[in-house]
Chains A and B, each alone.
Chain A
Amino acid sequence: MADTGVVTDDEFVVDESRRKLLLTATAATGALGVAFAAAPFIASWTPSERAQALGLPTELDLAPLEAGQMTVTVWRKQPIYVVHRTADMVATLGNHQALLKDPQSSDSEQPAYAANRTRSRTPEYLVLVGTCTHLGCLPKAHFEPHDPEIGAYWPGGWLCPCHGSRFDLAGRVFEGSPASVNLRVPPYAFAGPRKLVIGVDQV
């Protein structure tokens, strides 16, 4: 070994602790550098300015929406169901608590102002994200109570065609559905008695 380019004779003692220190310092700084360098690339995946611009709140005029009717609009690429509930529809909401998985909506996603009996700011209008909480299909509206296809207990609501999940007129999921949580309520606010803005908590 004495003849190789690497010297290991007795006059020269390798300062192992210094080497270890410098190795650690270099590796640590290098790792920090890699983390800093990775940051812009990871950031580039966040929604671009264009996506953000297109993801602005959606406005909806509620005047044409008749009582008992539902309309579908879009916010941030998601379908949004807006229902103009009749007094009868609202009255059914307390009658089938035992049939629901989460009648108090304690596990589901909704803003604070929708954490109530009707899951909405006002009983008259219901705003839901029209995406089944099972695997993402669009639930179909079945507002007719006691619908023979579904059962005598049926108060009205939605039935998802993909795997059969059922939701009531506040978007709460029925027992026996593959879905485990209630339909989500997006942030929304009223810019006037008949003007809905979806995507913000206040206008």
Chain B
Amino acid sequence: MSVEVHPPGAPPVKTGRLRAWFYKRFPIEEFISDQLTGYYAPKNFNFWYYFGVLSLVVLVLQLFTGIFLTMFYKVGEATSFSSVEFIMREVDYGWLIRYLHSTGASAFFLVVYLHMFRALLYGSYKAPRELLWIIGMVVYLALMAEAFFGYVLPWGNMSYWAAQVIVNVFGTIPAIGPGLVEWIRGDYGIADATLNRFFALHVVAVPLALLLLVMLHLVALRRTGSSNPDGIEIKDHLGPDGHPIDGIPFHPYYTIKDTVGVGVFLVVFSIVVFFVPTFGGYLLEPANFEMANPLSTPPEITPSWYLTPYYAILRGIPNQRLGALLLLLAILAYFFLPWLDRSPVKSMRYKGWLSRTFLALFVIAFLGLIYAGQHGVEPIYVLIGRVCTVLYFAYFVLMPWYTRIERVKPAPDRLRFRAHA
């Protein structure tokens, strides 16, 4: 496969007969010129801009390894756990497929969180990209659901009890709560019925939804074009050929640059998969190597690290119902960001010290919530959880105020760019 670069304005290359036959019947040529060589992206993308493509890579990885796992996994209370051990021990390279999938789940969230952080850093959620941001948030919700359903499938003891706890959160909804919980479970406790429906949702329903949402996300991006670290719109300055002066064709420059990014990611990913797949119990909890046991709870029931921030928020409030409400608000808060941010500039490069402080505190709070949520209910962890909850919400709730009153630096007219070494 050769990469053909057509500098804009160059004479067309002679195409072979087979290609011509295909081009007449399928809009591939237009796709390449519209979405790749003709799509101009800002030239100053930095480290934070790798994580979109990495999210796509991990999505493909999870789909592929997931399909192969489904070939050997046998869903059912009596068979799920042992079929996972069958995959680990008796299927050729089954252990590798399993570890790719379990590490991939955490890698997905790591990459997505860094991708979202980029948006917070550079104001990528601001107009005209609010819809792009909202679709992305829906992707995030679908991802959390997918991870939750998937975690139940090995039917280990942590799978069982995490399912028990999270499903019970829905019981806090006034009036319909208890009935809803039984409806979700399909039984009087987490049982075979629950496992089976979570399997269907995890393998078919949510992946289809995710694929659709990711496509919508990319379509919305194509409409507005990508933002950049300076937060200015490159389309404001077009060259004589109609393309942004500060833009470069996505292909070949970013296809090649992203290949390097993918390479680096795969190195780190492979080190984890091959050398520390359990990662000290964060990727594969020890309690999950014991089969589900309704009569024995693990010493600490915690969801996986990527869901613990919200779990810590929930646990911090002594009132069950209020805790659940706060959990919901913590996730919904993201949706309102485009309208909470009243700053005249998009990028943190030009915002004032208040914005930077609150973002820094938000990051610390998020990490603190991950930390606190992973531990039990000892007073120290509850305290950390509560303090971090306050900082977490402060970022959002106070944003309309601090983004308006702070003194910002003027955003530049043209992109600030230093040629790569």
Contacts and interface: CB of A to CB of B under 8 A. Distances in A.
Contacts, number: 68
B240 A3 contact: yes
Chain B interface, >50% SS class: loop
Given A40-B97, A41-B97, A44-B97, A4 B243 contact: yes
B245 A41 contact: no
A50 B74 CA distance: 14
Interface residues of B, number: 34
A27 B246 CA distance: 29
Nearest to A31: B1
A48 B245 contact: no
A88 interface: no
A41 B93 contact: yes
A50 B90 contact: yes
Contacts of B86: 48, 50
Given A48-B90, A50-B86, A5 B259 contact: no
Nearest to A6: B248
A49 B8 contact: no
The interface centre, meaning the residue of B91, B247, B259 with most chain A CB atoms within 10 A of its CB, is: B91
Interface string B225-256: 00000000000000111011111110001000
B43 interface: yes
A104 interface: no
A49 B243 CA distance: 59
Contacts of A1: 7-9, 239-241
A98 to B, nearest CB: 49
A71 interface: no
Contacts of A30: 259
A40 B93 contact: yes
B378 interface: no
B93 A6 contact: no
Interface residues of A, number: 19
A65 interface: no
B3 interface: yes
B90 A49 contact: yes
Given A1-B241, A44-B91, A6 B96 contact: no
B219 to A, nearest CB: 24
B231 to A, nearest CB: 17
B246 A40 contact: no
Contacts of A40: 92-93, 96-97
A4 B247 contact: yes
A78 interface: no
Nearest to B4: A23
Contacts of A97: none
Contacts of B186: none
B207 to A, nearest CB: 18
B351 to A, nearest CB: 26
Interface string A5-33: 11010000000000000010011001000
A48 B1 contact: no
Interface in A37-56: 40-41, 43-46, 48-50
Given A1-B8, A4-B247, A23-B3, A44 B240 contact: no
Interface of A: 1, 3-6, 8, 23, 26-27, 30, 40-41, 43-46, 48-50
